[in-house]
Amino acid sequence: MPTGLQLAYTDAYARAADARVVSVGADSAPGVVLDRTVFYPGGGGQPADSGLLRRASDGTTWVVRSAHKADGEIVHDLAIAGTPSPDLLPAVGDLVTVELDWDRRHLLMRTHTALHVLCGVVWRDYGAQVTGGNMEPGSGRMDFEFERMSGELVGEIEARVNAELAAAREIRVAILPRDAAFAIPDLIRTKINLLPPGIPEVRTIEIVGLDLQADGGTHVANTREVGSIRVTGYESKGRINKRIRIELADAPA
């Protein structure tokens, strides 16, 4: 599936799309491939989307419990128990509408952006690289290369993150040729470069005035859309590996 048909990568606010069924896997976890989709298939710590698939001809609707990437395609995993008969599945060539669970997606977008602001603050002010991360809708954690962590330091980081969120910084998405992307200093903020070797293009997320890094997930358009965060905990995961847990505290006014 060409990048232009993975709508989440260029327009995170697209909630639905009309599409045609390209293939259907008839097994105990049937998966449907479309010629275009708004679903994010998961990756980089961000969970995959969920939602609905609705056939145009008769309105038959399937629940899409998740999605994943396989052989370069986004596979929509239908929530059907057992091994369904073909007449219970979409057919190749069917015209359908694919719809996101938007409330869940938007919460993930806000969470992902909050984690990038956290990453940007920690890199700018403390020079610590990321060693890991994960998120759920409304909460997440990041691991950093800190030798020491304290409640005072975490409180300082929380205040600085909330100041950046309140600064209403624009967030820009760009897809750059590989050579141009890797010419940007500190583009890879993780301790280990997770980008597949040989990829011709790199997608970047810029929080204007704060952070620029390679990333494949979905984000809001401005930090003010996140609201505020609170740090819910911190812990040591090794000699120079410290974990900070956050959750969204307040929705934007």
Q: Angle between the 151-166 and 102-126 helix axes, to the nearest 10 degrees?
A: 120
DSSP string, the chain: --GGGBHHHH-TT--EEEEEEEEEE-SSS-EEEESSB-----BTTBPPP-EEEEETTT--EEEEEEEEEETTEEEEEE---S---GGGS--TT-EEEEEE-HHHHHHHHHHHHHHHHHHHHHHHHH-PPEEEEEEETTEEEEEE--S---HHHHHHHHHHHHHHHHTT-BEEEEEEEHHHHHTSTT---BSS--SPTT-SEEEEEEETTTEEEE--S---SBGGGT-EEEEEEEEESSTT-EEEEEEEEE---
Distance between first and last Cα of the chain: 38
CATH topology of domain 105-250: Threonyl-tRNA Synthetase; Chain A, domain 2 (3.30.980)
Q: Calculate ∠ Cα 233-138-39, nearest 5°.
A: 140
Domain 3-100 has CATH 2.40.30.130: yes
Q: Which two tokens stand for residue 59?
A: 């309105």
pLDDT tens-place values along the chain, 253 residues long: 444 488 999 999 999 999 999 999 866 668 999 999 999 999 989 999 999 999 999 999 999 999 999 988 999 999 987 677 777 899 999 999 999 999 999 999 999 999 999 999 999 999 999 988 999 999 999 999 998 899 999 999 999 999 999 999 999 999 888 788 777 766 665 545 555 666 788 889 999 999 998 899 999 999 999 999 999 999 998 888 999 999 999 766 5
Please report, for the chain, the start and end positions of each structural domain, with discontinuous segments joined by +.
3-100, 105-250
Q: Calculate ∠ Cα 60-65-68, nearest 5°.
A: 115
Distance between CA atoms of residues 71 and 53, nearest Å: 21
Nearest to 112, CA basis, from 195, 186, 215, 233: 215
User: What pLDDT, on a 0 to 100 scale, did the predictor assign at position 1?
Assistant: 45
User: What pLDDT, on a 0 to 100 scale, did the predictor assign at position 80?
Assistant: 84
Q: Calculate ∠ Cα 24-25-29, nearest 5°.
A: 125
User: What pLDDT, on a 0 to 100 scale, did the predictor assign at position 163?
Assistant: 98
- Sheet (strand 211-214) strand order: 171-177, 201-207, 211-214
